[in-house]
Structure 1
Amino acid sequence: MTTETHATAAASGAGATAQFRETKKFSGDTSKQRVATLASRVINSINETVRQEKVTYDEYNALKAWLIRVGEDGEWPLFLDVWVEHSVEEVANANRHGSKGTIEGPYYVPDAPVQNTPATLPMRDDEPGTALLFQGQVCNTAGEALPGALIELWHADDLGFYSQFAPGLPQWNLRGAIIADKHGNFQINTIQPAPYQIPTDGACGALISAAGWHAWRPAHIHLKISALGHQLITTQLYFQGDEHVADDIASAVKPELILAPTERSDGNGREVTYDFVLDPQN
């Protein structure tokens, strides 16, 4: 039987590419001047690196072979989301006054099952891991509660795999969209995810190995928080004490995004409270 542990970089990459093509909308009206500016900056940076580092033809051909493999393995979403997106996010959210955002990553799937708070994410009857109650409130920058705010939440399981990107997992495992109550409060029952390595059997893994880097991401919960009349925020929350909080391969951790769960008084796992502040729409 094929299970999540049989997940491959190529299959995950193909899934991420398909999701991107289906769900990401972007305009094609960027001016020629803007395209020329950005493309020239990137190309000039590459050429300057070649000159400064005296790149050989063997190294150049190795780069060409690797770029071809990135495409063949369908790992462009993974490569860009791990090594580039954190800078794009930093620029995009520089003027926000509310909660901190961070990268979305390649494994978001829209239209997860909707529930009212209190909620429990879809999971297997024998879902491994430590139970986690994640709760908090959504308000605006004036401190006013945002009734009916939507909390989209998804994360890896206790083995580090995401539903719809690894075989054998139920479609919506550990994915959900929760509607806050009239006071903007929410309670979500899930499990505490585990740290994981990004796929290493494809082109990105080859780069990591060749460079002597590690492939680990700290355990994290992905979220999108939205409310009528306010800017959506995409973020990830991490866990205090995780050994990879300080050296996340995706460079996505921020001090404001680190959780410190405590043991529940009823002995049923752990709990943590984290509030979100949304900026008004421009």
Structure 2
Amino acid sequence: MTRATLAEVLHPALEKRYAVAGVVCLGWEDARAYVSAAEAERAPIILQAGPGCRAHTPISVIGAMFRHLADAASIPVVLHLDHGATLEEAQAALAEGFTSIMFDGSSLPLDQNIRKTAEIVKLARSHGASSEGEVGFVGYDNGAASALTEPVDAMRFASETGVDAMAVAVGNVHLQQNPGDGIDEQALAGIAKATNGQVPLVIHGGSGVPALQRAALAKSSPICKFNIGTELRMVFGQALRRRVNDGTNEFDRLALLSSVHDPLAQTLRGILRQIGSSDRY
């Protein structure tokens, strides 16, 4: 198994009650470590190129890297555009072989968010790809405040856009460096009921969800995808800092960057086991 769509990995997760990790990639070193971890755990994995990654590296380069990793892997690998903002970004990603597109219209009025997301869904499907949208607004630690997802809005958004996965705001926050208050399970239950538990839900800011709650919700709710970024970036930075400061005066970037692989892979393997996606393939 190599390249997969979001629907192909989330539908089994919804049926069998586990979640898949959407890992935020910033370059070769972390993306390679993530696929290595997923292979070791026999778990599906979603490689995500967010706005920061795309600002640093051309989408054509990211696409080539993701395709190479997916085509060499023995487990399903989703090539996912995260937080896309325009139709043009979606078209560019699909042209580079991305198998999943997230359009983030969460800051728009609901009607406009639905209309624009539906356009992306139609475009993605014409390329054999999947789609993700967001209703409500997931805020940022020490930044923009969240707006909780209303169940009635979630029901309408899912029905009128036809998204394969729906990101929701239920207490989760982007960029948290430590576990926060966690998911508002009452709010989550309202959304699950409104959508009959049939729409795979996505938690952005998964790093801020306490580990025990992350594990429990993967088993007991329609949450099928946890986005994990900050938690892994912290491991990357800590491992690199240790190597740079180890007193050897090493200057070769390959030697320095190779130090992040094992800590990243080990940390992600623990997360994959935690959310139940190990030994699925």
**TM-score under structure 1 length normalisation:** 0.27
User: Which protein has the larger Cα radius of gyration, Structure 1 or Structure 2?
Assistant: 1
Q: Which has the higher strand share?
A: 1
Q: TM-score, normalised by structure 2?
A: 0.27
